Structures are given as C-alpha cells and as structure tokens.
Amino acid sequence: MLKFSKMHGLGNDFIVINAIEQAVNLTSEQIQFLSDRRFGVGCDQLLLVEKPQTAEADFRYRIFNADGGEVSQCGNGARCFARFVREKGLTAKDTIAVETASGLIYPTLQADGSVTVDMGKPIFEPKNIPFIAEEQANTYMLAIDDHGKKEITALSMGNPHAVMMVDDVDTASVEEIGPLVESHERFPERVNAGFMQVIDSDSIRLRVFERGSGETFACGTGACAAVVSGIRRGLLNNIVTVALPGGDLQISWPDEDSSVWMTGPAEHVFDGEIAWAMIEQH
C-alpha cells in the first residue's frame, strides 16, 4: 500500500507522499493516474518528501503536475510541505531548510497555523526564465493567435510566469487565452499564465492558468509573480493582499535585491492508502 496525505493551500490541492519512510518510484503515467479526480485520488500536484541531497537542507521537495511532468517550485505546495513534515513528526523545527530544483527555500510555521515562505528572488533575465526575447525589459508584447498582442511581464519565481493585466478577472478569458499563453513558442518550457486585476495599491485579484494543471484555485508562485509585476509597473506597494479564487495570500517584496515573501494557510484534509496493484496497472 502507498500511504499519502491529501492537503490543500487555498483550494490548490496536493497528494503529499512521505518518500523517506517508504520506497516511492512513480512513472509519469502513474502520477497522472493518482492525480485523476475520477479514477485516482485527485490533485493539482503531487508532492514528494525526500531526504536531502545537500548538507544545508533538512528535506528535498519534488513537485509533479497532474500531467506527470516535474516542475521546480510551487508556493502553495511549499506551505503544505512544511505543515506535513511537522505533523508527521519528521522535524521539530519551525523554520525548515527545503531543497528544491530551483534552490533552497525556508518555510516558517507561524503560531496561528499559517506558513511564511521565503520564495527567493525573482528572475528577469529572459534566458533564465526561460523566455525568448532580444533583451530584458519590464514588459513584453506577446502575439496570441486570434487575440492580437498582449502586454505581459515575464519572470521566474523558480518556475516561469507570464502576468497580464485585466480589467476584471471574473470576465477574463482565462480558459481561452490561458492554454495559448502556456504553450506559446516564446516559452520553451511552457509557462504559468496569470491574469491580474489591480484593486488598489495594496490589493489585487488574480486567476492563474498553471502549466500542466490548468486553472487552479490558487497559485503561490503566481501570486508572487503578479505582485512583483505590479510593483515593477509602479502600481503596487511592497506588501500586497492577493485575492485568489480559493482565498487570500499576503505577498511582500521589500526591494529589487530582496526575496519575495509569501504567507498563507496550509490545510490537512485526510490521510489515505492506495494499493500498489492499482497504481502499477498504469
């Protein structure tokens, strides 16, 4: 039997697997099966908790989207990861050093149950996002099939993001434009597409079409990318409330030389087991 926990951060839901105390070697097809909401357990992403590969880290954190592809970072997942390792007795620390494919992050469990994560510094150099552009700029024009050109901010928060301004997230064409941006030829590794509505200098509304998962209730790195985009455009202050379909996140970016900080909830839903025989059929 494969033991797992179901968790979510503002409705962005995860299968979290302890790969320290049980042997786990899942194929892309098996991850797709587990992520399926009708035939498997169901999730936006599957998270693996592993032993660290470096002396500086307490754990290694691996993230797989519902399509089976591995990605480098997930902000909502990082908060769930921190709560998982504490609740399962894998650590007694409040601040945890976690190794990811894009570097170390340091989630901190707060007294009220929320989790604050140092998400690292945003990356703007196009080749490091990666994004095809002749030179670095604050915004770029992106030609999107029959929808003309859209102004975007392109950056990486450990994974690539394209942030667009919209007048109203409720009427934004997320389902139509999101997949076109996600697979745009100028993003060689695909991209998360963010649709941001600025309410005032301290608050925004946001919807995110995530690569490999579609639109989710919340995207932590997407919230960070949106706030960074708004600050660089001169529209936002340094501490911003981001209202996502699943709830609110607090994002702060003190200055261009600083990390982006994210604070929000992480909820444990249930623990479960699934027979390996079911998984191995896929």
Known catalytic residues? 74, 219
CA-closest candidate to residue 259, choices 127, 155, 150, 117 = 117
